[in-house]
């Protein structure tokens, strides 16, 4: 008899024992057994793909108090993470690196043996008196070239419930996969909980990634970005797998954009958190295939992509009926949704920027809340957290793309990169070729830190391909992988840079409205099919006024003035030159083994800007480039 199953049998019901035995993989049994032994779980629940198992997880999340179901809308529940567990925790998220090996200086790392000893010490006996829930996940559609299997052991029913909404069940895939199949592993414990079922040992929060063993360890945290292992944590392991196998794992949305004659063109898009990623993926009239993580492969020399997930863990701040019609409708109607860190009053949920007045009191992440409440540091506690979230299955959205579970993925027509750039880049531009787009828009992606990550907000930083927090290979190698990927393709997707956060250099007002992004996306779709011309500038191809004027009327029924066009698409030479210097400095200081193409492309961009400056001055109207 398998010694690991034998050790687990006393903690399993007869049904769970049978479910586990159906998986003929001793590595699965070993991981569960060692995790149970370390954490000292009283019981083990094996969650299969069966509807009764999934329903049991949801019931237990409510029964334990990790979620409350006292909301007035059917299917809605709410979870609170507490005051100190409200975002990805950079300082306490580290790579376990063997002695003598070092990753890029930009990555947080710790000696592997030291880190394992620390995190296993924190996990020891953490599940006493609790049930270990075992979840089997299929990352990407089942039975696909893209499929990666994942296994998570957790003591949080909220975490297990979140996985039902965010991922495809993978128990059946594990049963079919056989004894030698590979899989990613996650071991998580919420740690000590208070009466509100909130993790209390926040100072002992640790999220460690073991590259050598394809394992994530997470303890003393419930926030889904730190605890739902197949969000951004196992993503780091997938990046390493992609690096060794010649494909790309990317922090990208996937969407279908309609064009003339009802055609649909698929786009991928990389945006750091709180930079417009989900709202772009959910544009009304288009289809959403994914809003967070995509796998890209060159299949018969064609770029194809899948959504790793099947749900959305989205930021709810500023979701309102005017700017986000589709998701607002879902969030205010019956259906299975987990809200986290919102305000609850009389069974209703409220969040910042929802377009209606908020109550003066209620329950939120800080407990009983009232207007003017202060935290222990004297700071006013907001009604809801700025990083409050919702978890919902994509199939709940009326514009969910029918190709979501296509095992062959979808063919990409374009890729967009967008950050928070108040000063330099225009709202939308197209790279001169694949390599220029990857370097000038992807590797040079610059943003500001936001509430989605614990720490100071508003700090400018390079966020390469929007993957900076998750990269697990040398940064130079990641750029090289992206450049080489394009060389495998018969026709590479067009690469675009978008910037929804450009400000007027005189008064500091935003030059884009939230709805304008729909016009930029429609322009990109027409560029893919060669239906509109563009103006060549030092930083890329930009739209012509006449084309945008037509699109603003068609898409938003708005009149678009020449004055707005000139303000938005003026090339700001000093700001662009300063941007190049920041990007160059970042790579010189933090990255070794940088592809020569990066510095070459940045050098040429600098030369083009200086040449244009000599002719037209510091601030160049787009009309200057048409003569």
- Give the burial class of 626: count Cβ atoms within 10 A of its Cβ; 0-12 exposed, 13-18 middle, 19 or more buried: exposed
pLDDT value at residue 452: 47
In a domain, 75, yes or no: no
Is the torsion defined by CA of 442, 445, 451, 453 positive or negative?
positive
Range with the poorest average pLDDT among 172-186, 415-429, 459-473, 478-492:
459-473
The CA-based angle 423-425-427, given to 5 degrees, is 110
Instruction: Decide if 235 is inside a domain.
Output: yes
Q: Are residues 475 and 535 in the same domain?
A: yes
Return the number of other C-beta atoms located less than 10 Å from residue 142's C-beta: 16
pLDDT in tens, 368-396: 999 999 988 899 999 999 999 999 999 99
Domain of residue 214, CATH code = 3.40.449.10
519 and 536: one domain? Answer: yes
In a domain, 238, yes or no: yes
Structure-token pair, residue 227 = 């605890």
| Domain at 558, CATH number | 3.90.228.20
SS3 596: helix
Residues 325 and 377 in one domain: yes
Which among 396, 421, 442 is the end of a domain? 396
Domain boundary among 219, 245, 271: 245
DSSP strand pairing (215-219 vs 311-315): unpaired
- As a whole number of Å, the end-to-end CA separation of the chain is 81
Query: 316, 342 in Cβ contact below 8 A?
Result: yes
Residue 474 has pLDDT above 50, yes or no: yes
- pLDDT by residue (tens digit) across 260-272? 999 999 999 999 8
Please state, in angstroms and rounded to a whole number, the distance separating the CA atoms of residues 362 and 341: 12
Mean pLDDT value across residues 34-58: 96
Residue 80 counted as domain residue: no
Is it the case that residue 1 has pLDDT exceeding 80?
A: no
Domain co-membership, 287 together with 351: no
Under the banding of pLDDT at 50, 70 and 90, the label for residue 456 is: low
pLDDT of residue 63: 96
Helices 51-63 and 157-166 cross at an angle (nearest 10°) of: 140
- The pLDDT tens digits of the residues spanning 578-591 come to 999 999 999 998 88
- Is residue 341 located within the same domain as residue 294? no
Residue 451 has pLDDT above 60, yes or no: no
Residues 220 and 318 in one domain: no
Q: Which sequence positions are flagged as catalytic?
A: 275
pLDDT higher than 60, residue 468: yes
Based on the domain organization, do 434 and 521 belong to the same domain?
Answer: yes
213/537: higher pLDDT: 537
Phi, psi dihedral angles at 47 (to 5 degrees): -90, 115
How big is the CA angle at 165 (ends 161 and 171), to the nearest 5 degrees? Answer: 75
Q: Which of 199, 223, 245 is the last residue of a domain?
A: 245
Report whether pLDDT(486) > 70: yes
| Inside any domain, residue 406 | no
338 near 78, Cβ under 8 Å?
yes
Based on the fold, state whether residues 104 and 44 are members of the same structural domain: yes
Question: Are 340 and 429 part of one and the same domain?
Answer: no
Residue 102: its pLDDT value, please?
Answer: 72
**Does residue 72 fall inside a structural domain?**
no
Q: How many domains does the chain have?
A: 3
Domain that residue 594 falls in:
249-303+411-625
pLDDT at residue 455 tops 60: no
Among the ranges given (123-132, 369-378, 555-564), the one the predictor scored with the smallest mean pLDDT: 369-378
Q: In this structure, are 333 and 225 located in the same domain? A: no
Asked whether residue 402 is assigned to any structural domain, the reply reads no
150 confidence band (pLDDT: 50, 70, 90) = very high
Backbone phi, psi, residue 313, to 5°: -110, 85
Minimum mean pLDDT range among 119-123, 290-294, 321-325, 620-624: 321-325
DSSP one-letter string for 161-177: HHHHHHSEE-HHHHHHH
**Per-residue exposure over 480-490, b if at least 16 CB sit within 10 Å of its own CB, e if not:** bbbbebbeebe
* Whether the predicted pLDDT of 458 surpasses 70: no
- For strands 534-537 and 540-543, give the pairing: antiparallel
DSSP bridge partners of 627: none
* Statement to judge: residues 158 and 177 lie in one domain: yes
Q: What pLDDT score does 459 carry? A: 63
Whether 80 shows a pLDDT value over 50: the answer reads yes
Cα–Cα distance for residue pair 610/571, rounded to 1 Å: 12
Q: How many residues in total does the chain contain?
A: 627
SS3 388: coil
74 assigned to some structural domain: no
pLDDT at 104: 66
Helix, strand or coil for residue 46?
strand
Considering the domain architecture, whether residues 142 and 221 belong to the same structural domain is answered as yes
**pLDDT at 126 > cutoff 80:** yes
Structure tokens at 622: 């787009």
């Amino acid at each position: 008899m398998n010694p690991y199953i034998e050790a687990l049998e006393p903690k399993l019901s007869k049904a769970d024992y049978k479910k586990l035995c159906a998986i003929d993989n001793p590595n699965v049994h070993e991981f569960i057994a060692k995790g149970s032994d370390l954490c000292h779980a009283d019981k083990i629940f094996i969650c299969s793909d069966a509807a009764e198992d999934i329903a049991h997880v949801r019931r237990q999340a409510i029964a334990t108090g990790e979620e409350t179901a006292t909301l007035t809308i059917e299917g809605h529940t709410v979870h609170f993470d507490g005051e100190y567990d409200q975002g990805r925790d950079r300082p306490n998220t580290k790579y376990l690196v063997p002695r003598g090996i070092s990753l890029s200086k930009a990555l947080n790392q710790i000696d592997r043996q030291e880190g394992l000893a620390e995190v296993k010490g924190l996990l020891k006996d953490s599940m006493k008196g609790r049930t270990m829930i075992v979840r089997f996940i299929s990352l990407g559609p089942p039975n696909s070239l893209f499929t990666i299997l994942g296994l998570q052991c957790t003591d949080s029913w909220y975490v297990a419930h979140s996985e039902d909404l965010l991922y495809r069940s993978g128990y059946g895939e594990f049963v079919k996969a056989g004894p030698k199949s590979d899989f990613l592993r996650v071991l998580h414990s919420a740690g000590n909980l208070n009466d509100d079922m909130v993790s209390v040992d926040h100072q002992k929060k640790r999220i460690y990634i073991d590259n050598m063993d394809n394992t994530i360890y997470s303890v003393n945290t419930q926030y889904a970005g730190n605890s739902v292992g197949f969000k951004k944590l196992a993503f780091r392991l997938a990046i390493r797998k992609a690096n060794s196998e010649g494909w790309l794992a990317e922090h990208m949305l996937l969407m279908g954009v309609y064009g003339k004659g009802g055609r649909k063109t698929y786009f991928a898009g990389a945006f750091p958190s709180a930079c417009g990623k989900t709202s772009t993926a959910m544009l009304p009239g288009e289809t959403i295939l994914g809003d967070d993580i995509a796998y890209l492969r060159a299949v018969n020399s064609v770029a194809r992509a899948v959504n790793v997930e099947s749900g959305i863990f989205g930021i709810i701040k500023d979701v309102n009926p005017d700017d986000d019609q589709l998701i607002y409708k879902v969030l205010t109607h019956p259906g299975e949704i987990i809200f986290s860190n919102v305000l609850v009053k009389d069974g209703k949920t409220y969040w910042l920027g929802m377009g209606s007045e908020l109550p003066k009191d209620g329950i939120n992440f800080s407990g009983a809340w009232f207007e003017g409440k202060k935290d222990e540091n004297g700071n006013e506690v907001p009604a809801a957290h700025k990083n409050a979230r919702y978890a919902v299955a994509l199939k709940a959205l009326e514009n969910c793309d029918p190709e979501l579970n296509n095992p062959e993925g979808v063919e990409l027509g374009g890729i967009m990169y967008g950050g928070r750039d108040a000063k330099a880049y225009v709202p939308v531009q197209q790279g001169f070729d694949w390599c220029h787009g990857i370097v000038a828009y992807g590797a040079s992606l610059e943003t500001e830190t936001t509430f989605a990550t614990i720490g100071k907000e508003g700090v400018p930083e390079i966020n390469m391909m929007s993957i900076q927090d998750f990269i697990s290979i040398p940064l130079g190698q990641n750029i090289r992988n992206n450049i080489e990927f394009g060389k495998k393709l018969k026709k590479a997707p067009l690469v675009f840079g978008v910037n929804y956060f450009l400000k007027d250099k005189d008064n500091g007002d935003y030059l884009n409205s939230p709805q304008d992004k729909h016009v930029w996306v429609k322009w990109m779709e027409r560029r893919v099919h060669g239906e509109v011309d563009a103006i060549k500038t030092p930083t890329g191809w930009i739209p012509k006024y006449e084309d945008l004027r037509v699109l603003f009327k068609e898409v938003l029924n708005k009149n678009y003035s020449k004055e707005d066009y000139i303000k938005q698409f003026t090339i700001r030479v000093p700001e662009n030159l300063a941007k190049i210097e920041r990007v160059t400095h970042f790579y010189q200081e933090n990255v070794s083994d940088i592809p020569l193409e990066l510095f070459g492309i940045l050098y040429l961009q600098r030369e083009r800007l200086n040449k244009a400056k000599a002719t037209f001055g510091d601030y160049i109207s787009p009309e200057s480039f048409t003569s």
